[in-house]
Structure 1
């Protein structure tokens, strides 16, 4: 029997951000969805990271600038290949520890 992810999260003690208002979240959990082209998802987190996922079947230009930290495809650069995801450290965040 499949369970809703919210129910499973409660069972294992995972923080469910759906039930908290943004002003109740710690700064590092705040996220902002970015405007993207169709077939792409992108968001930033309050701790200076951005994640971009290309769900389309063509390369797309990333909507964020910064230092590439990790990519699911070795061809990630200015453009994300089809079906690829990548994480960036946003400018101005590299000096924070």
Structure 2
């Protein structure tokens, strides 16, 4: 298992040393579990992940502006077939779906 110093150094390289902010408040078992989890992280990959997450968070929320212009409802002939079917056909479909 990696030592506390090793994990602290790796987190510092990743710019994530704040993850051990409450280290002194943890009991030995939670400390060991946290060290085991953090030891699996690669500093460069963690730094890149956090950078991308921060960029994503800074982007405006919602669909891209051009998406709304491209979305159109489906034409009626493409939807609602079951509701326009005759009662006998709907009954057969209902039986098929529940057997």
Computing the radius of gyration over CA atoms, which structure comes out larger, 1 or 2?
Answer: 2
Structure of greater relative contact order (alpha carbons < 8 Å, 6+ residues apart) = 2
Band the TM-score falls in, shorter-chain normalisation = under 0.3
TM-score relative to the length of structure 1: 0.20
